[in-house]
Chains A and B, each alone.
Chain A
Amino acid sequence: MGKKLKAIHYLNQFFGQIGGEDKADVEPLVKAGPIGPGVLFQELFGGEVEITATVICGDNYFGEHMDDAAEAVLAIIEGYRPDVVVAGPAFNAGRYGMACGAVCAAVAKRLGIPVVTGMFPENPGVESYRKDVTIVETKATTAGMRDAAQLMTRLALKLARKESLGAPGEEGYLPRGIRRNTFASETGAARAVAMLLRKLKGEDYVTEYPMPVFDRVAPLPPVERMYEITLALITSGGIVPKGNPDRVESSSATKYGKYNIGGLKRLSPESHETAHGGYDPTYANEDPHRVLPLDVVRDLEQEGAIGKLYPYYYATVGNGTSVARAREFAREIAKDLVRDGVGAVLISST
């Protein structure tokens, strides 16, 4: 048996046996060894993991000084160089859940130490931190302490040993909403046929990719005086100045381009090309207007159908670029457009 693995436990003032609501303002402090529920955790860990210290902070103090509190807790934890950090469980206590989530997220991100906490699925800490933190699903109240402690210690042990976790359903943690590659025992083709046979027989099967539900934005009211507004052009078809000066990637783009067209009447094969790797580029390279209609928009501007054309256009590559990244681009671009009083946007996609 090698060296004992070290764990640090984070608790609030109540579970840390400092006091009740009246002690919710207490600043981060540290006590040696396991405290309160930590005793049960230590028992379940057995000899392989030792809870060397417990960090305690009042829920109100943490909530009101989120950044300072997280920093202070982080500093204490860092000093111990633990193999894993356990927080809570917080059950359905909202402030406590947020604190556990914040501590775990900071530890995971800044110290790179694995973390486990536990919460009831409706705890607001789940929504805020599930992406970054392993959160074991617990009951709403302390009646679920033993179950929670069992799951949390099991996962903490695995993580401390640097083992990877199984799927959320098997391990008892809440899905983090991320997709991670792993190897199955059978090929995709074999799994597909097996899944189909189960489906045909009316037996249970588990889809490997549940269809997402996209959010919606209510349509905005129409543009009333098109002849007065500034219109901006965006394309996801990757039209960039020849030579692709920003090196926008042909796929899974990490950036978008913003290009001045202030003085430009027309695009040409000499001036522009496509960086998009997802479609046959021949046509767009022959005449970039086939993707970005600068020519006709300039004509419409000249004729007074639109007020004016925004002096920049934005280009992204839609190909393989994740929805989250596209959203990020759009938000940054929208900031520019709002600031410059753009009244409408025309987006062209391949």
Chain B
Amino acid sequence: MVGSDTNKLKPRPIVRLGILLISHCFFVSVVCLTAGVLALLLLPVLAKNTYISENALMPGSSNNMLSSQDVSEANKLVKDLTSLELRSRDSGIESQRLIAQYMSDLGAEVTYHKFYPQLHQFHPLQFFSGPDSGIIGKNNSCSSLGVNTVGIIRAPRGDGKEAIVLVTPYNPTKTGMGEALSLGIAYSVFSLLSRVTWLAKDIIWLVADSQYGEYSAVADWLREYYNPVFGNVNTGDTCKERNILYEPGQKPYADRKLYEGFKRAGTMAAALVIKVTTESDYFEDSLNIYAEASNGQMPNLDLINIVNYLAVHKQGLRVRVKKMLSLLNSSWLNTLGVIFEYLGQIARSLNPQWKFGIPATEYVEGIATLASSLYYQGLGVPTGPHGAFREYQIDAITLEISPKVSLTKMARHNEFLLRGGRLIEGVIRSVNNLLEKFHQSFFLYLLTSPSKFVSVGVYMISFALLVAPLPIVAASLHSNANNSDYNFTKEKSSSRATSGSKDDVKHRSWNWLNSAKKVLIFHLWGAVVSLLPYFVCQMPNFTPTTSFLVWALLSGFSLLILYLILGSQFSETAAFQPRDKEWTSLKSVTISASFIGLCLMSVINFATAEIGALLIVPMCLIARPLKLDIEAKSRRTFAKAACNLILGFVGFPPVTYVLFKGAFEGFHGINIGEFWNWVESLWAWNSATYLFIGMVHLPCWALCIHILFHPC
């Protein structure tokens, strides 16, 4: 590097690199954006096969002990439950008592947990407070009393420090065949576990009363387990106690004088939610795995791995995870898959060790799974009762088993129960082997198939590439604005006396503050908008559509008020700045703000940030006053303007929602009220996505629109 010495006043190389990037910001941003999207599309190709990371788990290394006797007993329970259902209408209490009877006959400790299901409500101040015992709804009516039945098997020689939880949602008032069978599976495993000697952790079987929702029953039980409230239990006192469950003479053999309060069994190691669905469109028994908890939190990958391993290799079940089914038939994905396959073949012909490329069909399936994985993680709403466990850092998944034929055929019950029971037994045995809690494998991952995953190190790349242009473009815009300012003021000052030059320099370096103020006001407006639904939903008798309209009206109104209150100041201060260059500085600050917002969101919920980046980044980068484009009157500028308009239209959250929904489910029957419902579900589940939409996405969109219609 002799040559560098001669150029004497060259800055340091890192600064030079920065200057280079900034000066070629258009090229850089185009390259980065395409690379980011391409990296996202490449993820199914880059996905690795899952493997059991924790050696202690040793799935499938022991023979199944579940015998046909356990299964026939379980079948008896299923028959009893269904016959009870047929016999009497008001079988709610009866069936629960029956389950409790069965449990205690196995020697388990049985308790009932009574709860008043909570309605999900929007609490603006308790957004991130997590599981809190303080938020007990006031308007619980006594009629909506739920009763969970809990059976606990104490490990014979265990120290009782840890427990494994089995959950079977069960609606006592309306028992379906599927629920009865899921109880049967759990019961067969439970009866086996009550006899085995190898248990090291206690087993809790929670029959969650799902008549007011599966999630709330499990969440209530967990709250009582981990955050009980002592004293001042007003809900229990005001309602007439329904003590039907504790009729004298009904207690089983040894438990006549037992303590009947809430029972606990140590720290939970893992939880499995078992469900049986009646319909299956496949030709074999299949297993659906649901893993997403609130805010994109996932259970440890090892848990999914064990289930997948045991289901595929031991029980011969077909394992599935959720897919975006509409993506499966899309032709462009298919073409892409074919291209990747071709590229992979070329790579393999060059070097047989480059294992790149997968078959096109597999690729399309991978993309569909990945999209659903991203969507459900990004949504931040748990996909089942297992989500309640994640709030307490417990790894949990929902296993939905569906038989290949209709459940009404009794002949196949035993075989089905045996299969399901053996799967659960294997998983429990594996988790039971675990000395430490799950920590060995990944927590941040996306699934592209039940046996393939993309870890955080890989999927981060696409997000980083998407986001990378933002600071570069912001810097280049800022420096451009400054330079042009400088030229502008130079001209001005040359015409005037030299006295004002110092002041001008000062203004020049600080005039981005005005734009910052503007951006801040828009973000403040975003915060106000995201608080508004709290007041809107206080109003009674609003249909979703009217609620949405009221919300939109109020939002617009609040923007107007904010503009009137705070906006009047900066219109004066902006006089220092030339109007035509104001928008560049505004755009630069907008881009920085969205960059910060996206980066923050990627820490909280990566999938949301990824989807958000796909929407926001192009919109922010391309935003440019329409007036300029129209004045220029060339084909290129018209295309630019059209692009701007389309992106601005698509970027508006309700429109985005409607478009996505239409793309995946078809447009018929869509009304704007559905967006309200969707948003309502987001805040009810304390999803951070809601905050992201309200406080990052919406202000960014509004600012972009503001730039589009900037009078320059």
Is the A/B pair a real complex?
no
Give A contacts to B, CB under 8 Å.
none
